[in-house]
Amino acid sequence: MDKNFINFHILISHSPSCLNRDDMNMQKSATFGGKRRVRISSQSLKRTMRKSPYFDKMLGQNSTRTRELNNLFSLLSKKMGEHIPKELIEKAISFLADKRDVTIDESRADAVAPWCYQEVEWFCNQLQTNENIMKLCEEFISITGNSDNDKKKKRSLIKSVYNILEKNEQLQGLYLALENNIDIALHGRMAASGLMKPLDGALAVAHVITTHTVDADIDWFTAVDDLQELGSGHLDTQEFSSGVFYRYASLNISQLQENLGNAPRKKALEIASHVLHLMATVVPSAKQQSFAAHNLADLAMVSFSDIPVSLANAFEEPIKPGPGFIKPSVKALHEYWQAVHHGYGLNERCAEFAIGHEPPEGITGKKTLENLKTWVQADGEV
């Protein structure tokens, strides 16, 4: 068995900004090493990655995360309405989401779920080609009540559909439909309803924290009203700060292969190289119209490892400036990596791309982010 985990360690410096806020409009924060740090939640970073144009271009289809079934119905009708009748799409969504009328404005599923349109398309095909499934589906939709008995009936109908699919060796098709949806393979899906397959995400993303303590500033601002001669139309405050952030994520290669229907390792490594690109380049969009902290990573380190281990402890003692925060942060990360690598006998394959820094012994230096991506694709062997 080869190394199962790819660990991504990123240092990224943001100019003044407020990339992730709490209910008090203050920056999310953390205590680490007994000192306050600014934090960006993993949820925020993951969504930024998923929604980036790069993801769209290189990793393809994003899932649509929604519970707004009416909007989902319109979207899917546009996508596949040319070759599949709309009534079928409507029936498929109804069955999969367990909601009767998906065409009305306020039709909502019980929970936000990632929808993959190939899955719905596949189910439409089943409805078209198998009368029994169609009958069961219609029976399912016709149940209007919500009593225990109704629920029991619905469960047994779902089971019957399962059985038919299994008998005709069609069940695999449902899972095959998911294979093109890298988004769901990476980030996972909870069991949403009977036929939808739950998946454990292959990528674990940590909360992002600054390598140093942060005394945030409060910006007092006014919004000028052009049609008002004096004064302002609005005044408020906004917390912000700058800082060097440590991002960490680990990718479970075999889990990703499994989620993609036992894809070859090569495929998983290609996806990993794109995850690296996203980790090193995307920035949450919050308040970016006012701050424009569109920064790229100063350092991206990648390791192939037997166990996912974060290097956050390099910054447990907060970095002190001198000069700036990036230089001492990189130094601390390098020293800590060497100590951990040696101390625990980690035996990782490790390489990095860093702007203006030489890697320590044991880490292969790469001149560009592209070079590092190529190295990831080659299983870290070149």
Partner 1 sequence: MRDFLILKLHGPMQAWGEHTFEGLRPSANFPTRSGLLGLLGACIGIKRNDREQLQQLADSVGMAVRVDERRMSRRDGKSRTLRVVKMTDYHTVKDAREDYTGLKKHDTIQTWREYLYDAEFTVALWNQPDAALSFDELEAAIKRPLFTPYLGRRSCPLARPLFEARLKSSDVLEALKGIAPHGGTIYSEEKIGDRMKRVRNVPLIHQPRQFAGRNLYIHGGEHVSE
Q: Which of 40, 186, 204, 268 binds partner 1 (CB under 8 A)?
A: 204
Whole-angstrom Cα distance, residue 262 to residue 255?
9
Whether the Cβ atoms of residue 235 and residue 135 lie closer than 8 Å to each other? no
By CB under 8 A, residue 134 contacts partner 1: no
Q: Where are the beta strands (DSSP E) in the chain?
A: 5-17, 29-32, 35-40, 64-68, 108-115, 203-205, 208-210, 217-223, 234-252, 297-305, 349-354, 364-365
Contact letters for partner 1, residues 156-195 (x by CB under 8 A): ----------------------------------------
Nearer to partner 1, 171 or 206 (CB): 206
Whole-angstrom Cα distance, residue 364 to residue 375?
10
The count of chain residues that interact with partner 1, using the rule CB under 8 A, is: 48
Binding part of the chain for partner 1, among 80-88, 177-185, 279-287, 304-312 by CB under 8 A, reads 304-312
According to DSSP H, which parts of 237-325 are helical? 253-259, 265-281, 288-291
Q: Which of 55, 117, 123, 248 binds partner 1 (CB under 8 A)?
A: 248
| Closest separation in Å from C-beta 136 to partner 1 | 24
Whole-angstrom Cα distance, residue 351 to residue 371?
10
Task: Give the strand pairing for 208-210 and 217-223.
Answer: unpaired
Peptide bond into 323 cis (omega under 30): yes
Tokens, residue 164: 């038919």
By CB under 8 A, residue 205 contacts partner 1: yes
Per CB under 8 A, contacts with partner 1 among 1-20 are: 1, 4-5
Q: Which of 250, 259, 273, 329 binds partner 1 (CB under 8 A)?
A: 250
By CB under 8 A, residue 313 contacts partner 1: yes
| Angle of CA points 238, 317, 7, to nearest 5° | 85
Task: Give the strand pairing for 349-354 and 364-365.
Answer: parallel
By CB under 8 A, residue 334 contacts partner 1: no
By CB under 8 A, residue 52 contacts partner 1: no
By CB under 8 A, residue 255 contacts partner 1: yes
Per CB under 8 A, contacts with partner 1 among 83-122 are: 108-112
By CB under 8 A, residue 253 contacts partner 1: no
| Binding region for partner 1 (CB under 8 A) | 1, 4-5, 22-23, 28-34, 41-43, 67, 108-112, 198, 200-202, 204-207, 209, 248, 250, 252, 254-255, 306-313, 316-317, 340, 344, 346
